[in-house]
Amino acid sequence: MNHDSDVIVVGAGFAGLSAARALAAAGATVTVLEARDRVGGRTENVEIDGGEVVEVGGQWIGPSQDRIAALAAAVGVETFPTHAEGSNLLRLDDRLRRYSGTIPRLGPLVLLDIGRTLRKLNRLSEAIDPEAPWQATRAQRLDAISFAAWIERTMVTSTAKRLLRVAGRTIWGAEPEELSLLHVAFYLRSAGSFEMLTDVEGGAQQDRFVGGPGAVCGRVAEALGDGLVLDAAVERLEQSGEGVIARARDGLELAARRAIVAVPPPLTAAIDFRPTLPAARRQLAQRMPQGWLIKTTAIYPEPFWRADGLSGEALNEHGPVTTTFDNSPPGGSPGALVGFVGGRDARAFARLGASERRAAVLDCFASLFGPRARAAERYIERDWAGERWSGGGPVCNFAPGGWSAYGDLLREPVGLVHWAGTETATSWMGYIDGAVSSGERAAREALAAL
Amino acid sequence: MNHDSDVIVVGAGFAGLSAARALAAAGATVTVLEARDRVGGRTENVEIDGGEVVEVGGQWIGPSQDRIAALAAAVGVETFPTHAEGSNLLRLDDRLRRYSGTIPRLGPLVLLDIGRTLRKLNRLSEAIDPEAPWQATRAQRLDAISFAAWIERTMVTSTAKRLLRVAGRTIWGAEPEELSLLHVAFYLRSAGSFEMLTDVEGGAQQDRFVGGPGAVCGRVAEALGDGLVLDAAVERLEQSGEGVIARARDGLELAARRAIVAVPPPLTAAIDFRPTLPAARRQLAQRMPQGWLIKTTAIYPEPFWRADGLSGEALNEHGPVTTTFDNSPPGGSPGALVGFVGGRDARAFARLGASERRAAVLDCFASLFGPRARAAERYIERDWAGERWSGGGPVCNFAPGGWSAYGDLLREPVGLVHWAGTETATSWMGYIDGAVSSGERAAREALAAL
């Protein structure tokens, strides 16, 4: 077999690009095959007036996200803090509350309930080994129940339960019914704590990239030159003793010594692996559904909420948009509000027509930030579940039983095929950082075997 | 667009074949495209000496399974009773117990626990509308918890819990962690009761087909003549205002007015639908994983257990084989024992080498039926999760949250595409009967629209 390169990487999201970059840095030759006409996977820039961009997919970087921080620094992309000055908003029971810091003004019982619940969740997560959550002492028991069942038996106030459900729609794009408690515990462990997932300052939403995540992956892609092929969905991946052969659209065939597949687990079902993947690996791919997350953005002449002393961050019990942030460019002009629609809200939202969706989002923004929010100059949305080459977002989640039965296979190579993607990360699974570290890990595996 | 036929059917399992038969009977022209080199889907005959066959996939027919009964009668295939004379066996705590009828000899507490649990489950199921389980009064609550969590809080004795878990491995090919309680309740409702699922006489295992299920689908296939194309995996399904175009391997392209897709939901991910399927439909396909069920058969010169007064039916707590039946041909010669390996046992079993698997199964049979069981003339197995065009078996199951969020889409056409397959059945989901009725229902939909 004549090898066109040492390694073929399937998918040019942050995982695939990071794998390719690490391989190239070690002197290996690599070809990245990407189904879309762009790189970035579940991250994407959209250009707006004035040469600025808004991020319509994964976008933030926070403390302890060392791998994406190193990557951004290496390609010369700077970060800037997410705008967080001013009061946050909480809309609950049709009442709008302003609050400062991370704790909204709620009744003492509700606050006690939330505090107690988060401490319990964090304690559960601390007992988990992120390398092998299925081996936790209580893994079988944590994996036997849904997060919803745990909430029901642990939490006391209906208000606190509703808040946690609403927060989960943005974190996982899913309802608590769909999540294994072990998955939730692992997810917190892989980020550090519940607060690391939800906070702006000191948490996962702390900073943004100047030029968006597209600036980072654009430069990584550029450095790959001809080693990156767009519009090249891999239809077939064949392996033999001599190597792997990837067949992409329109008859493009490439041979290599090893392959790294850096796509979300459910999308591996669209590749004709030869020989067929082991039964257990295919069962895994059926047991890790993508969440459903829709990201909406409204552009305004200026971030008018700032003058009202508002940060732009809100949690809104009344959908469709349940979470918002100020997403204006670094200079603060124009103003941009980002709103997330997730889980069951996403399904209802996706049924509406385009103009109804726009109106529903702007109504939501207006219920939080006042009537000026209706006068958006531009409305942008991205439904990640409607994207063929993502199938959902922000992350694939295990339902009960999945982690303990199949979790050990997430990173287990199949012959000459290695697996990357944020779902295979042990740190910051579901985040750009997890994607980067997974790609680097898969590259190390492949390099060691070349 | 020149239509090659009125309807294209994707998949020649019992669902696709039944759809095609109903369409042809109504005067429509139809082409069935099947990925494999055989029909039958998750059913299959294997020939043994003497012109007999054993069934290595779905095989039984029971009371109230009217659609498969009508189909078998229409093509002239007779049925015969599953051998059930003699005592059944229960192996539990390393003790082997013989019993007659459906109730094993267990302690009174255990029997009470089982009886109470099954009554509760049956009562839950009776409240479900099989046409719309997501609309049950308690649907949201039933769908919020795993079957495992329900077992834990409902059942009292560890013995009874273990028995139910073991039984579920054959019924669903899954562990109770993986199943929504609403799914379990619906499944019982669609069959009638728990006992209908597990019983031989009066239940789903009551009768078998002379010549196996292959005799039935073979005759249906024969009648389709050139309307059936084997080795024709559909890679792309394109729809426009004018009709559908299916592209199969090697450039075969066929146009029709409508399409019926009769494959298990997860396998729809391997078809390039154009335009892309709606996001909600793709989310559904990610949320209905196949169970894992391996069917093993040992052939003996005669059914020696009958002379010992045994029926051949056993429930065995100690895997890998947890359920057995006498599966000898109608005349009782040669003798055949069938054993099911499901759920977590299946994964462990699939890791063994071929000779180890054979030895493990025959050891299991010997622990139940005595040392003669080791002297098998032939050993046959089929791992349905290893079959590319099934991806598991016996059925795709919803984890918590799935039914209430996406169940309403199971039969909802997408433009010119209708959906069939046992997973879309309202009666006997997971069984051949459900496959047949689903195909007939999809054919009625397509006919009404032609």
Give the distance from CA A308 to its chain's centroid: 31
Nearest CB to A405 within list B143, B145, B347: B347
User: Is B330 contained in some domain?
Assistant: no
User: Is A375 contained in some domain?
Assistant: yes
Q: Give the start-end residues of each E strand in B317-427.
A: 323-326, 335-342, 378-383, 417-419
pLDDT for the residue numbered A105? 78
User: Is B218 contained in some domain?
Assistant: yes
Q: Which of B265, B338, B237, B269 is nearest to B297 (CA)?
A: B338
**What is the CATH number for A273?**
3.50.50.60
- Phi/psi zone of residue B55: left (φ > 0), alpha (ψ -120 to 50 degrees), beta? beta
The neighbour count for residue B27, using CB atoms within 10 Å, is: 9
Which residues pair with residue B381 across a beta bridge?
Answer: B296
Residue B104 has pLDDT above 90, yes or no: no
Buried b (16+ CB within 10 A) or exposed e, B261-295: bbbbbbbbbbbbbeeebbbbbbbbbbbbbbbbbbb
Eight-class DSSP state of B13 = S
Which residues pair with residue A95 across a beta bridge?
Answer: A92
Do B230 and B179 share a domain, yes or no? no
Give the model confidence (pLDDT) of B113-150 as tens digits.
999 999 999 999 999 999 999 998 889 999 999 999 99
What is the spatial distance between Cα B159 and Cα A430, in angstroms, rounded to a whole number?
40
Q: Is B371 exposed, middle or buried (0-12, 13-18, 19+ CB in 10 A)?
A: exposed
Rounded mean pLDDT, A269-277: 96
Do A279 and A301 share a domain, yes or no? no
Nearest CB to B279 within list A145, A174, A383: A383
Amino acid at B178: E
Cβ contact, residue pair B400, A404, below 8 Å:
no
Q: Which of B372, B355, B373, B356 is nearest to B364 (CA)?
A: B373
Q: Which of A237, A271, A272, A269 is nearest to A256 (CA)?
A: A237
Do A282 and A295 share a domain, yes or no? no
User: Is A116 contained in some domain?
Assistant: yes
Q: Give the start-end residues of each E strand in B211-342.
A: 228-229, 234-240, 243-248, 253-261, 272-274, 293-300, 310-316, 323-326, 335-342
Give the model confidence (pLDDT) of B336-351 as tens digits.
999 999 999 999 999 9
What is the spatial distance between Cα B254 and Cα B264, in angstroms, rounded to a whole number?
22
Long-range CB contact pairs, A134-138, < 8 A, 24+:
A134/A182, A134/A403, A134/A404, A134/A407, A134/A408, A136/A182, A136/A185
Structure tokens of A29? 């030759």
Do B420 and B273 share a domain, yes or no? yes
Residue A391 and residue B286 in contact, taking contact as beta carbons nearer than 8 Å: yes
Select the residue from A143, A175, A286 to test the B interface by mutation, using most B Cβ atoms within 10 A.
A286
Select the residue from A36, A146, A397 to test the B interface by mutation, using most B Cβ atoms within 10 A.
A146
Nearest CB to B289 within list A143, A146, A287: A287
Cβ contact, residue pair B146, A148, below 8 Å:
no
Q: For the CA atoms of chain A, what is the radius of gyration?
A: 22
pLDDT for the residue numbered B101? 75
Q: Out of B166, B198, B230, pick the residue that ends a domain.
A: B198
Structure tokens of A321? 């948009």
Which residues pair with residue B335 across a beta bridge?
Answer: B300
Do B218 and B190 share a domain, yes or no? no
Do A262 and A297 share a domain, yes or no? no
CB contacts of B290 in chain A (<8 Å) are 283, 286
CB contacts of A176 in chain B (<8 Å) are 144
Structure tokens of A252? 């493009």
Residue B406 has pLDDT above 80, yes or no: yes
Do A194 and A272 share a domain, yes or no? no
Distance from CA of B269 to the nearest CA of A (A): 6
**What is the CATH number for A350?**
3.90.660.10
Do A121 and A183 share a domain, yes or no? yes
Select the residue from B146, B344, B423 to test the A interface by mutation, using most A Cβ atoms within 10 A.
B146
User: Is B398 contained in some domain?
Assistant: no
Q: Which of residues 179-218 of B touch A (CB under 8 A)?
A: 180
Range of the domain at A117: 108-198
Distance from CA of A144 to the nearest CA of B (A): 5
**What is the CATH number for B162?**
1.10.405.10
User: Is A64 contained in some domain?
Assistant: no
Cβ contact, residue pair A286, B283, below 8 Å:
no
What is the spatial distance between Cα B259 and Cα B244, in angstroms, rounded to a whole number?
7
Do B189 and B218 share a domain, yes or no? no
Cβ contact, residue pair A149, B152, below 8 Å:
no
Q: Is B352 an 8 Å CB contact of chain A? A: no
Do B184 and B219 share a domain, yes or no? no
Taking the alpha carbons of A10, A13, A15, A19 in that order, is the dihedral positive or negative? positive
Instruction: Read off the pLDDT band of A324 (50, 70, 90).
Output: very high
Residues in CB range of A353: below 8 A, 6 or more apart: none
Higher pLDDT, residue B100 or B440 = B440
CB contacts of B270 in chain A (<8 Å) are 269-270, 272
User: Is A31 contained in some domain?
Assistant: yes
CB contacts of B283 in chain A (<8 Å) are 289-290, 292, 347, 385, 392
Give the model confidence (pLDDT) of A363-374 as tens digits.
999 999 999 999
pTM assigned to the model: 0.97
Give the model confidence (pLDDT) of B223-237 as tens digits.
999 999 999 999 999
pLDDT for the residue numbered A104? 78
pLDDT for the residue numbered A186? 98
Residue A101 has pLDDT above 90, yes or no: no
pLDDT for the residue numbered A137? 83
Long-range CB contact pairs, A117-120, < 8 A, 24+:
A117/A151, A117/A154, A117/A155, A117/A160, A117/A164, A118/A194, A118/A195, A120/A154
Distance from CA of B265 to the nearest CA of A (A): 10
Q: Which of B178, B169, B174 is nearest to B149 (CA)?
A: B178
Do A332 and A389 share a domain, yes or no? yes
Residue A423 and residue A265 in contact, taking contact as beta carbons nearer than 8 Å: yes
Q: Which of A439, A424, A441, A444 is nearest to A216 (CA)?
A: A439
pLDDT for the residue numbered A159? 96
Q: Where are the alpha helices (DSSP H) in A199-329?
A: 212-224, 279-286, 304-307
| CA closest to B265 among chain A residues | A286
Instruction: Read off the pLDDT band of B40 (50, 70, 90).
Output: very high
Cβ contact, residue pair A177, B276, below 8 Å:
no
Residue A271 and residue A10 in contact, taking contact as beta carbons nearer than 8 Å: yes
pLDDT for the residue numbered A250? 82
Which residues pair with residue B88 across a beta bridge?
Answer: B99
Select the residue from B151, B283, B347 to test the A interface by mutation, using most A Cβ atoms within 10 A.
B283
Instruction: Read off the pLDDT band of A142 (50, 70, 90).
Output: very high
Residue A103 and residue A328 in contact, taking contact as beta carbons nearer than 8 Å: no
CB contacts of A401 in chain B (<8 Å) are 146, 148, 174-175, 177-178, 399
Q: Out of B198, B230, B253, pick the residue that ends a domain.
A: B198
Q: How many CB pairs under 8 A join A and B?
A: 150
Q: Is B284 an 8 Å CB contact of chain A? A: no
Cβ contact, residue pair B149, A148, below 8 Å:
no
Do A193 and A89 share a domain, yes or no? no
Looking at the structure of chain B, the number of domains it has is 2
Angle at B282 between CA B276 and CA A280, to 5 degrees: 120
Give the model confidence (pLDDT) of A42-52 as tens digits.
999 999 999 99
Residue B306 and residue B312 in contact, taking contact as beta carbons nearer than 8 Å: yes
User: Is A377 contained in some domain?
Assistant: yes
The neighbour count for residue A118, using CB atoms within 10 Å, is: 17
Q: Which of B262, B275, B264 is nearest to B236 (CA)?
A: B275
Q: Out of A167, A198, A229, pick the residue that ends a domain.
A: A198
| CA closest to A409 among chain B residues | B347
